[in-house]
């Protein structure tokens, strides 16, 4: 009998990012190991990608993730009806051969996990996102802390930096399985010891360090900043807005920049873009709130700074550009620890 694995996600908003890519690659891996992989979701990004992979998709819209006061109010009002609808549509027969159910957002963990723990062999609370007030001040926090004590529910996250926060939230230890490199570079990326172009790849938002980057643009007018975002209304001549990047355009971005920066102002659970940069021998400067910092040696394989000292750290790097190629080569040697094969096997072991 073929075993099933189901991913469930009802997000507040939907966009392609590290969490989505991680989910897609896990789904592909489980299918390659003989599992029937399914998605129950309201997330347009995952629905599209799972359909493109010809995986089974069940579109279901019970609620938006309760991460704001308004969405929490709507969530509470919809709670009983959402549970009733879910159990009616996905009854015990649906999960009779279920090896594992992955719950990706907070809403499904609150409402559906107790039911799922009775019909699935294993339930995994995947924790990709930064732990914020929506968790610490959540009226259902006590319920979540009780749920994770059930013998077949595990909390899993992608980096060590999350472990302390998750222990504080759940009163239970999380299993840490670090992210992996998925993309394959198409060029050799010969690097020069120069610092002329700085890149940022990701959502250009405050938590990712948008204000820090804009301040750097002011302070370093001789440097060009390449930003993977639609053009925003800032009167800065040394910013180049590139929009959403993929395929050839993305590879051009990597070949053009001399340094990648990620000055996150809130905890970024891992920062998958860090691995993607290192794979292309691009040196990286990150804040000490990025989870990847725990896996690379500061000043040897990666540049790390507090958000407040980011400007002075960039100034220091610009005065010693000969360090860039040394750092990038040493970080590249560390990538063997982040193979997709190693990561996937750890998830497969969860099912045993």
Tokens 């021998």: give the residue: 281
Q: Give the pLDDT score at 33.
A: 95
pLDDT (0 to 100) of residue 132? 81
What is the structure's pLDDT at 80?
Answer: 96
- Return phi, psi of residue 111, to 5°: -85, -40
pLDDT value at residue 42: 97
Residue 7 has a CB neighbour count (10 Å cut-off) of 25
pLDDT value of residue 235: 82
Neighbours of 264 (CB within 10 A): 23
Q: Which contiguous run of DSSP H or E holds residue 130?
A: none
Domain residue spans of the chain? 4-176, 197-337
Q: What pLDDT is stored for residue 231 in this prediction?
A: 80
Q: Would 4-176 and 197-337 be classified into the same CATH topology?
A: yes
- And the tokens for 240? 């180049």
Residue 188, pLDDT score: 66
Q: Distances from the Cα of 42 to the Cαs of 8, 23, 86, in angstroms? A: 9, 15, 13
Predicted local distance difference test score (pLDDT) of residue 16: 81
If one counts every other C-beta atom within 10 angstroms of the C-beta of residue 320, the result is 11
Q: What CATH superfamily is the domain 197-337?
A: Glycogen Phosphorylase B; (3.40.50.2000)
Q: What's the full length of the chain, in residues?
A: 352
Under 8 Å CB-to-CB from 339, ≥6 apart: which residues?
A: 180, 181
Going by C-alpha positions, the residue among 93, 106, 324 that lies closest to residue 195 is 324
Give me the CATH code for the 4-176 domain, please. Answer: 3.40.50.2000
Reduced to 3 states, what is the DSSP secondary structure of residue 337?
Answer: helix
pLDDT averages per 10-residue partition of the chain, 352 residues: 95 86 94 97 97 98 94 96 97 96 97 96 93 87 95 94 91 93 69 90 92 96 93 88 89 94 95 93 96 94 96 95 92 90 93 86
Query: pLDDT at position 187, please?
Result: 60
Backbone angles phi, psi at 285, to 5 degrees: -120, 120
């Amino acid at each position: 009998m073929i075993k099933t694995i189901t991913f469930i996600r009802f997000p507040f908003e939907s966009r392609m990012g590290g969490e989505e890519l991680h989910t897609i690659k896990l789904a592909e891996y489980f299918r390659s190991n003989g599992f029937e992989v399914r998605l129950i979701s309201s997330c347009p990004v995952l629905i599209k990608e799972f359909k493109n992979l010809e995986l089974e998709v069940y579109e279901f819209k019970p609620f938006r993730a309760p991460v704001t006061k308004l969405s929490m109010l709507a969530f509470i009002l919809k709670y009983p009806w959402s549970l009733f609808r879910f159990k009616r549509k996905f009854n015990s027969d649906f999960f009779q051969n279920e090896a594992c159910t992955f719950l990706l957002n907070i809403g499904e963990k609150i409402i559906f996990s107790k039911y799922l723990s009775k019909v699935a062999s294993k339930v995994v609370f995947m924790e990709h996102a930064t732990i914020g007030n929506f968790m610490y001040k959540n009226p259902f926090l006590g319920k979540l802390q009780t749920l994770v004590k059930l013998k077949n529910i595990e909390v899993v996250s992608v980096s060590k930096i999350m472990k302390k926060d998750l222990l504080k939230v759940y009163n239970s230890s999380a299993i840490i399985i670090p992210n992996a490199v998925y993309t394959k570079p198409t060029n050799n990326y010969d690097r020069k010891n120069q610092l002329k172009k700085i890149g940022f790849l990701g959502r250009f938002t405050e938590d990712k360090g948008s204000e820090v980057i804009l301040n750097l643009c002011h302070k370093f007018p001789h440097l060009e900043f390449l930003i993977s975002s639609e053009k925003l209304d800032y009167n800065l001549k040394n910013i180049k807005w590139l929009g959403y990047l993929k395929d050839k355009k993305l590879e051009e971005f990597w070949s053009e920049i001399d340094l990648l920066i990620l000055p996150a102002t809130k905890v970024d659970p891992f920062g998958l873009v860090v691995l993607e940069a290192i794979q292309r021998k691009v040196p990286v400067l990150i804040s000490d709130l990025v989870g990847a910092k725990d896996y690379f040696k500061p000043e040897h394989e990666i540049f790390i700074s507090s958000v407040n000292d980011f400007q002075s750290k960039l100034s220091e790097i610009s005065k010693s550009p000969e360090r860039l190629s040394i750092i990038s080569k040493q970080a590249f040697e560390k990538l063997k620890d982040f193979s997709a094969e190693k990561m996937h096997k750890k998830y497969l072991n969860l099912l045993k």
